[in-house]
Structure 1
Amino acid sequence: MQTWKEMKEIQPLAAQMLMNSFKKDRISHAYLFQGSRGTGKKELSILFAKSIFCKNRTGAEPCLECRDCHRIDSGNHPDLHWVEPEGQSIKKEQILHLQKEFTYTGMESNRKVYIIVDADKMTTNASNRLLKFLEEPSQQTTAMLLTESGQTILDTIRSRCQLLALQPLNSRRVEKMLIAEGVSESNAKLLASLTNNLTEALEMNEDEWFANVRKLVIQLIEVLQNKPNEGLLFINHQWMPHFKERKHLQRGLDVLMLWFQDIINQYLDREDSIVFITEREKLEQAAMRWSRQSSAQCLSYILEAKRKINQNVHPNLVMEQLTLQLQR
């Protein structure tokens, strides 16, 4: 997301608000970008910094070619300062160092910008020190605080920032972005159905463990269709060894749900909604085994299994019961 036009497609409201600040020449001294992982907080802060420093910008749009733009991309702009957690937290000493840096005159101009990543991870002392910094804002200083959890940031800090809430990405948007990143269409559809977090989706695409989840779901369906008497054997000897943690088992059940949703989509001729596009022949065979009504019942069984996993019922017992239910 190099331009404001691209950013508006992802985060229209936040992008428009920041673009308007340039049109009206009213850049606030502090912003709080709040949104879940993968919604573009860091990209938005970098683009905003470019617009602040770029001497050749057109309206809010930075030129992307000048020395300032290139130095921001490379992380070497002397008047743009990043603060990120050291270990598990952002410490008071990091904020003190930032304040010290800001006592010096800007290297390129009088303007300075700082970006605090995971601002919710500031210690109490760091938060109090930042608050004092924000209470005496310089007209030439702009702060950007990035967080997934704005509610954990001090109210006194929040009140001194302009809040921009970033919206989750919709599945079609995530799917297109994944394909643009080189992910296959079939994987993009599956990943976009499981998460609206682009970063998480890309990580899952590179994860061999996740690639095997898809294979295991297809194998389970084939066993249930063709060798139902071997269902419990498959669960105990192939399925459960792969899903050793409850969160992993939940992911496997999520993919299994998508399979039965696809059967229903096939009955309703919702071609665009089908996720398992490379397994169309297997889907057609599955539709002969499970009717639309029984597929809907299977979805209920899987949801109940997910609920039991959250309630700490023994995973093996949950999966064995679910397998018997899906065989009916």
Structure 2
Amino acid sequence: MVKTWDQLEELQPAVLRMLKNSIVKNRVAHAYLLEGQRGTGKKEIALLLTRALFCQSRIDGYKPCEACHNCRRIQSGNHPDVHLVEPDGQSIKVDQIRALQAEFSKKGVESLRKVYLLVHADKMSISASNSLLKFLEEPNAETTAFLLTEQPQQMLPTILSRCQTLSFQPLPPQKLVKQLIENGVEPKKAPLLAQLTNSLDEALALNVDEWFAQAQKIVVKLYEVLEKNHLEALVMLQTEWFQHFKEKEQQYRGLDLLLLIFKDLLYIQLDKEEQIVFKGESDRLKQFALRTSGRRLTAQMSAILDANKKLSANMNPQLMMEQLVLKLQEGS
């Protein structure tokens, strides 16, 4: 469903305020970098501004009407002067950027204005980045680029310096919890989902995902086994963990869930039980919390964050998890 200006303003007020001023004062930048976590509305807002730029009857001088011919075509993804580029496999290739440049060297089909959106702009190959840089250095007055990324640090500084940066704030989990419950998610499950994603659609998909339900059980079980002996925990990695968390995204998810368990234990110790997210496990977690210390929990959470960095640096996931298990058991 297409979100309106007012709906998106609730999610990202600072970004929308800046864009409103740009449109009203006719100072739209030739290139924007939209950076922030997944699910914070980057693509929706890029398309919202695109509709505003092409709209034939703007409301209050800056909001797209959502009803004219141009607004409707952009909503359905078939406006001839709006181009979306996404990674082809693992990266955005130089040929994709060259095809875009060729397209933009032609006159606009219906006007001089053209817009392109690069989704996951951090995934451009080196040659694609260099090709885009030339494109950004000689902007056409009527061309607007939106570069969307969750990891701006992976991009060329020379590209970043040619864009106006719009930073998207994470959504408050309480807001997402409320939306999830309104969409039929059990109140016990909603807080955990809201900690794992900013996206309502992704959270709703996780809620009915069998793999995710099983992942939660395995993570809780690993914590229980960790408290017994390290040999049993290492065996469990082989028999259950590696069988379930196979893909890289799944491995990240496993570490996120594990971190949330340790956070819950800390909340229980700090008498903040209302903040725990593994609501269905609260009785067991209270028992676990009695057997550990706040200092140890903090050290264990640091170890999980460190493991996450190692995974990002392409360390062997099996070795990373074995090291983590041993680290988590230190001082037990």
Answer yes or no: same fold by TM over 0.5: yes
Equivalent of residue 241 in structure 2, options 240, 243, 246? 243
1:170 aligns with 2:172: yes
CA shift, 1:27, in A, is: 1.0
The 2-side partners of 1:317 and 1:94 are apart by: 40
The 2-side partners of 1:288 and 1:162 are apart by: 51
CA shift, 1:130, in A, is: 2.2
CA shift, 1:115, in A, is: 0.9
SS at match of 2:188: helix
CA shift, 1:36, in A, is: 2.8
CA shift, 1:247, in A, is: 5.0
1:303 alignment partner AA: M
Q: Please list every run of 5 or more consecutive structure 1 residues that lacks an aligned counterpart in the other structure.
A: none
CA shift, 1:194, in A, is: 4.2
CA shift, 1:263, in A, is: 3.2
1:2 aligns with 2:3: yes
CA shift, 1:60, in A, is: 2.1
Determine if contact 2:34/2:168 at 8 Å carries over to the other structure: yes
The 2-side partners of 1:317 and 1:33 are apart by: 34
CA shift, 1:248, in A, is: 6.3
- What pairs up with 1:223-238 in 2 under 5 angstroms? none
Determine if contact 2:30/2:141 at 8 Å carries over to the other structure: yes
SS at match of 1:163: strand
1:209 alignment partner AA: W
CA shift, 1:86, in A, is: 1.8
Q: Please list every run of 5 or more consecutive structure 2 residues that lacks an aligned counterpart in the other structure.
A: 246-250, 311-318
RMSD: 3.8
The 1-side partners of 2:119 and 2:67 are apart by: 26
- Deviations along 1:91-127, one digit per CA (max 9) or x if unpaired, are 2322222222223332333311111112222233323
1:145 aligns with 2:152: no
CA, structure 1 residues 198+298, in 2 after alignment: closer, same or farther (shift >3 Å)?
A: farther
The 1-side partners of 2:327 and 2:159 are apart by: 51
CA shift, 1:323, in A, is: 11
CA shift, 1:222, in A, is: 8.6
- TM-score normalized with structure 1 length: 0.77
The 1-side partners of 2:156 and 2:331 are apart by: 51
Residue of structure 1 in register with 2:14 after alignment:
13
2:155 alignment partner AA: I
The 2-side partners of 1:211 and 1:276 are apart by: 12
CA, structure 1 residues 271+64, in 2 after alignment: closer, same or farther (shift >3 Å)?
A: farther
- Deviations along 1:210-233, one digit per CA (max 9) or x if unpaired, are 212333566678999xxx9x8889
Q: Give the greater-gyration-radius structure (CA).
A: 1
Residue of structure 1 in register with 2:258 after alignment:
253
Residue of structure 1 in register with 2:126 after alignment:
124
CA shift, 1:28, in A, is: 1.2
Residue of structure 1 in register with 2:161 after alignment:
159
The 2-side partners of 1:129 and 1:157 are apart by: 11
1:296 aligns with 2:297: no
- Deviations along 1:165-214, one digit per CA (max 9) or x if unpaired, are 22233322343344455543322201223455667645543442321233
CA shift, 1:271, in A, is: 5.6
Residue of structure 2 in register with 1:62 after alignment:
64
- Deviations along 1:256-289, one digit per CA (max 9) or x if unpaired, are 3244245336xx3x46423244456x36xx6477
The 2-side partners of 1:222 and 1:153 are apart by: 41
- How many matched pairs? 314
- TM-score normalized with structure 2 length: 0.76
CA, structure 1 residues 124+260, in 2 after alignment: closer, same or farther (shift >3 Å)?
A: closer
1:17 alignment partner AA: M
CA shift, 1:11, in A, is: 2.0
SS at match of 2:140: coil
CA, structure 1 residues 128+147, in 2 after alignment: closer, same or farther (shift >3 Å)?
A: same
The 2-side partners of 1:145 and 1:22 are apart by: 19
Residue of structure 2 in register with 1:315 after alignment:
322
Determine if contact 1:253/1:302 at 8 Å carries over to the other structure: no
Residue of structure 1 in register with 2:313 after alignment:
none
The 2-side partners of 1:100 and 1:317 are apart by: 50
Determine if contact 2:119/2:148 at 8 Å carries over to the other structure: yes
Question: Which range moved further: 308-317 or 191-200?
Answer: 308-317
SS at match of 2:34: strand
- Deviations along 1:11-68, one digit per CA (max 9) or x if unpaired, are 2222211111112111111111122322222111111111111112213221222222
